[in-house]
Amino acid sequence: MSSYFDGIEPVRYEGPDSATELCFRHYDPNATVLGKRLEDHLRFAVAWWHSFAWPGGDPFGGQTFDRPWFGDDMNAAKAKADAAFDLFAILGQPFFCFHDADIAPGAEGFEESARNFDAIVDYIGEKMAAGGPRLLWGTANLFSHRRFMSGAATNPDPDVFAWSAATVKRCMDATHRLGGENYVLWGGREGYETLLNTDLTREAEQAGAFLQKVVDYKYKIGFRGTILIEPKPQEPTKHQYDHDVATVYGFLKRFGLEDEVKVNIEQGHAILAGHSFEHEIALAASLDIFGSIDMNRNDYQSGWDTDQFPDNPREVALAYYEILRAGGFSTGGTNFDAKLRRQSLDPLDLVAAHVGAMDVCARGLKAAAAMLADGVLEDARAARYAGWDTSDAQEMLDDMDLAAIHDLVVDADLRPEPRSGRQEILENLVSRYV
Ligand code: XUL
Ligand code: CO
């Protein structure tokens, strides 16, 4: 049967010195790193939306891609699924992710939409049963259709809340049916354009009630995967409620859901929020809510959420370092929430983008594993805090009040001596590994 990717062979690992254009130079799925196969460390996923549904538009111009499966009916949706599984066979990545709107044509009525969706989910299920990747996560697109323009769960209209809840129910059912390992909530319209028409208290309470219903439904259907919130500070809204990891944690605590929900952290979203990717991962790990990552990068000149494929081994290494320090992924993985540039029209571009990104991630993970195994950074970190390991320091922290600490400082005539933070030395150390 002919395929959009005809003429492109499955990509193989050939090592760093290979002259083959399309091969893995660093990603050998079977190589063992820290006692685990690279494939099982990285848990790569291809994103249906950017790779198969995105038409190549930008805010100033429309479609540039001319995919044979583009169309708004069930035949087009099946052709799209066929093309997706052809790409998966070329890349050999273990997972994929989708929104309902990526895989099936919508309809104005809920039932018709849901029927289309369920039929394509069955079709994808058959393709999965015949071999190919598993589902890392499913999600609902509660942001593209105009009904969601004022939010989904946080909409001022209860009918939109209801539509959104019903949609999430269907998407959780589908994710469960396909054996998905996580379910993601990204609230692209859960925020505001202007405070002048916004009731912050109501909207937060609606969002909290919605999330509680999602968690309750997970238990009702016996879904064993992880519920993940994906933070982002803005775009498309002026202000998004799930601003960053710290804000999401505060929200989860407010509604008592911090043990039920974790985060899916995206590189570009972290940067938009004024953080680094590794900061967001490290913070989530320290709060025990780290779940999964959306791997990509923004354009550092435009500052927009451009969702490009990652190409910077050092940045990626620092991110995986925090993931490995936290014990690695459990249900999470590395989802390429990344899209081609709109001039990259060819099937080869789509394959090459993923191959390059998988290689950069493999390189980063190997560097991170070596840094961790050698222990140099962790030894330096431990040495920096060694003073706190003494019983005197612990006693001060646990048992002494301000007055007692005051007396201690006076009695001992304490004169703290500043010590170097050794930042450049540590940065030089990282450079040796990447
Ligand atoms: C948008 C974004 C989404 C989520 C899933 O910036 O990252 O694609 O990952 O809805
Ligand atoms: Co994302």
305 Cβ inside 6 Å of ligand 1 = yes
Quick one: pLDDT band at residue 300, thresholds 50, 70, 90?
confident
Ligand nearest to the CA of 184: 1
* pLDDT 10s digits, 184-215: 999 999 999 999 999 999 999 999 999 999 99
Let me know: does 359 contact 68? Beta carbons within 8 Å: no
CATH number of 29-374: 3.20.20.150
139 Cβ inside 6 Å of ligand 1 = yes
**Helical segments of 106-157, H only:** 110-129
Global pTM exceeds 0.95: yes
Catalytic residue, from 102, 244, 294, 307: name it.
Answer: 102
Using DSSP bridges, classify how beta strands 191-192 and 239-240 pair: parallel, antiparallel or unpaired: antiparallel
Quick one: pLDDT band at residue 1, thresholds 50, 70, 90?
low
Facing residues of 352 across strands?
none
Closest ligand 1 atom to residue 264 Cα is: 9
Let me know: does 204 contact 254? Beta carbons within 8 Å: yes
Closest ligand 1 atom to residue 143 Cα is: 10
How many A from CA of 15 to the centre of ligand 2?
30
How many A from CA of 73 to the centre of ligand 1?
24
* pLDDT 10s digits, 128-150: 999 999 999 999 999 999 999 99
294 Cβ inside 6 Å of ligand 1 = yes
Let me know: does 98 contact 52? Beta carbons within 8 Å: no
Q: Is 99 a catalytic residue?
A: yes
Asked if pLDDT for residue 118 goes beyond 70, the answer is yes
**Ligand 1 pocket: which of 97, 243, 294 to mutate (most atoms within 8 A of CB):** 294
Residue of 77, 63, 48 lying closest to 139 (CA atoms): 48
- First and final C-alpha spacing in the chain: 43
**How is residue 299 written in tokens?**
């354009």
- Which ranges in the chain are annotated with CATH 3.20.20.150? 29-374
Residue 360's alpha-carbon distances to 274, 296, 320, 356, in angstroms, are: 23, 11, 11, 6
* pLDDT 10s digits, 307-330: 999 999 999 999 999 999 999 999
Q: What is the mean pLDDT of residues 373-397?
A: 97
How many A from CA of 186 to the centre of ligand 1?
6
190 Cβ inside 6 Å of ligand 1 = no
Q: Is 299 a catalytic residue?
A: no
Cis upstream peptide for 59 (omega within 30°) = no
Instruction: Please give the Cα distance from 383 to 385 (Å, whole number).
Output: 5
* pLDDT 10s digits, 236-267: 999 999 999 999 999 999 999 999 999 999 99
